[in-house]
């Protein structure tokens, strides 16, 4: 139990200390006009309160990631705690803050536009592909997982297919509404359910009499029942609770509704820390209530949703357990909605389809939902593996964008370069070793080839960055943040 409390305390200390350093390094301008005011259209650009922005950001980035991921990460044992804490403070929260604030400085531009501006126009097409792939996978995963959870607490005649159809219908209706109506009105209620249910699980776990695993010299090892390697496996299994590229597609959406740059630290950095706390609670619950073998069998039998059900009922009983499951359900539903909304914006920007009429909005939205519905027929675990890799590749791109931004402005770019380098090596090793990639296995050769490829990518990154910096003049918008990116097409 000491490890659990220490981890939560370190996360909070990280927010109150390291986030201030990151904010100072970014150099906020509280008097600067934000996109919400300068580009207000009462649809995507709408000034909203700090509290609403924060809860929208939390629900947007959370999904089932900080629950399903840590549950599956619990198979590795207490070592998962380390990644959640260190990853969230020094990687995930920095990633979310930087992309959110860089987007805010660029009129709420999405990641592909930011990559084009800071990494070069050819990169924009690559990032667009990854962003669209990631979001369609996220939307699909976050339809499938809540559908399974809902059918687990409803009568047998309620089928997964019927629930899936209803979720898609909700998404379609919400996508057509202005953000302050689609999210601003509903998400505070969703957030209340999430917070109450999470606290209930955490408190019940502490006072339930179960033994929470401690991180000791003896427990600092790999307990995965299938013997899967910690690196890179753990860093893809636990993503949303530590660092997730999906967040880079969501922060720009919220950057369009923030009224003051001072709100960024709480909204972007703070909500990532909140997500890490959720991840810690579910990881601890999974490790405390089940041994590795049982946990692995449950995940194989019904994805992590079966574990969610068992944990909720065991700790809270039938009635309150069902309420807790509802708290979990609102996460993927809210994140799925925001994923499709972001996907619509990215696709419309890329294809230059102005979203100013219902007909144009539907022309982009309906085909996306049709593709996602077809993907729901695939195996969930297979989708999750592809989602994980695309997710972390997007995180690497986001961190490289952030590093280039800081480098061009002569600020401390090490804060983003270190996590970018680590995650770059992880995604290269993952695609080389896994069946979804080159299937080389985790051999010495794989690690050496991965190291060589990672260093080559970083070398190209720094060479291009040096050339870009040398070509700048003192009045360049890359330095002064004065360029208004055209996002109206």
For the record, the structure tokens of 202 come out as 């955490």
**Secondary structure (3-state) at 428:** helix
Closest CA to 279 of 316, 237, 229: 237
Q: Which residue shows structure tokens 């519905």? A: 373
Better-predicted residue by pLDDT, 312 or 133: 312
Q: Who's near 71: CB < 8 A, 6+ residues apart? A: 282, 283, 286, 295, 299, 304, 307, 308
For the record, the structure tokens of 103 come out as 């987007």
Over the stretch 140-191, which tens digit does the pLDDT of each residue have?
A: 877 887 888 788 788 888 888 899 889 888 888 777 788 888 777 887 887 8
CATH level 3 topology of 2-398? Amino acid/polyamine transporter I (1.20.1740)
The gap between the terminal CA atoms of the chain, to the nearest Å, is: 53
For the record, the structure tokens of 11 come out as 């996360």
**455-461, long-range: CB < 8 A, 24+ apart:** 457/424, 457/428, 458/421, 458/424, 461/119, 461/400, 461/403, 461/404
Could you tell me the pTM of the whole model?
0.90
- What percent of the chain lies above the pLDDT cut of 70? 96
Q: Which residue shows structure tokens 């490790």? A: 287
Q: Who's near 407: CB < 8 A, 6+ residues apart? A: 413, 465, 469
Crossing angle for the helix pair 160-175 and 292-351, to the nearest 10 degrees: 40
Is 486's pLDDT higher than 70? no
CA dist 404 and 14 (Å) reads: 24
How many other CB atoms sit within 10 Å of the CB of residue 18?
17
Query: Where along the chain do its domains lie?
Result: 2-398
Over the stretch 39-92, which tens digit does the pLDDT of each residue have?
A: 998 888 999 999 999 999 998 887 666 788 899 999 999 999 999 999 999 999
CA dist 372 and 60 (Å) reads: 18
Average pLDDT for the chain: 89
CA dist 116 and 127 (Å) reads: 9
């Amino acid at each position: 139990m000491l490890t659990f409390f220490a981890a939560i305390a370190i996360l909070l200390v990280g927010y109150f200390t390291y986030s201030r350093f990151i904010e100072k390094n970014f150099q906020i301008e509280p008097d600067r006009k934000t996109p919400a005011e300068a580009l207000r259209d009462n649809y995507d650009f709408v000034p909203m309160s700090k509290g609403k922005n924060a809860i929208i950001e939390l629900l947007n980035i959370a999904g089932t990631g900080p629950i399903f991921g840590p549950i599956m990460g619990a198979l590795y044992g207490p070592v998962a705690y380390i990644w959640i804490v260190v990853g969230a403070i020094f990687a995930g929260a920095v990633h979310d803050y930087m992309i959110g604030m860089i987007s805010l400085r660029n009129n709420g531009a999405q990641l592909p536009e930011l990559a084009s501006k800071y990494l070069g126009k050819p990169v924009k097409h690559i990032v667009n592909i990854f962003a669209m792939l990631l979001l369609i996978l996220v939307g699909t995963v976050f339809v499938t997982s809540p559908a399974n959870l809902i059918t687990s607490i409803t009568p047998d005649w309620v089928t997964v297919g019927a629930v899936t159809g209803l979720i898609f219908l909700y998404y379609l209706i919400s996508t057509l509404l202005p953000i302050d109506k689609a999210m601003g009105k509903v998400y505070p209620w969703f957030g209340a359910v999430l917070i109450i249910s999470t606290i209930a699980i955490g408190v019940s776990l502490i006072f339930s009499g179960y033994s929470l695993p401690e991180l000791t010299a003896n427990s600092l090892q790999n307990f995965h029942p299938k013997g899967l390697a910690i690196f890179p496996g753990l860093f893809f299994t636990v993503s949303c609770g530590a660092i997730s590229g999906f967040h880079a597609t969501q922060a720009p959406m919220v950057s369009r509704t923030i009224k003051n740059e001072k709100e960024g630290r709480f909204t972007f950095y703070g909500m990532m820390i909140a997500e890490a706390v959720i991840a810690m609670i579910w990881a601890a619950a999974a490790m405390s209530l089940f041994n590795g073998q049982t946990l692995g069998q449950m995940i194989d039998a019904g994805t992590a949703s079966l574990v969610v059900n068992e944990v909720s009922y065991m700790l809270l009983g039938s009635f309150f357990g069902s309420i807790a499951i509802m708290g979990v359900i609102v996460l993927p539903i809210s994140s799925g909605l925001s994923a499709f909304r972001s996907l619509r914006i990215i696709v419309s920007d890329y294809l230059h389809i102005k979203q100013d009429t219902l007909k144009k909005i539907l022309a982009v939205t309906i085909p996306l939902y049709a593709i996602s519905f077809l993907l729901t027929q695939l195996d969930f675990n297979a989708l999750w593996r592809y989602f994980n890799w695309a997710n972390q590749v997007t995180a690497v791109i986001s961190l490289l964008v952030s590093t280039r931004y800081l480098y061009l402005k002569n600020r401390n770019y090490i804060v983003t370069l270190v996590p970018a380098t680590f995650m770059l090596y992880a995604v290269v090793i993952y695609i080389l070793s896994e069946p979804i990639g080159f299937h080389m296995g985790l051999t010495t050769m794989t690690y050496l080839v991965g190291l060589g490829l990672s260093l080559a990518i970083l070398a190209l990154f720094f060479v291009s960055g040096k050339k870009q910096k040398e070509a700048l003049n003192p009045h360049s918008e890359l330095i002064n943040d004065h360029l208004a990116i055209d996002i109206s097409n």
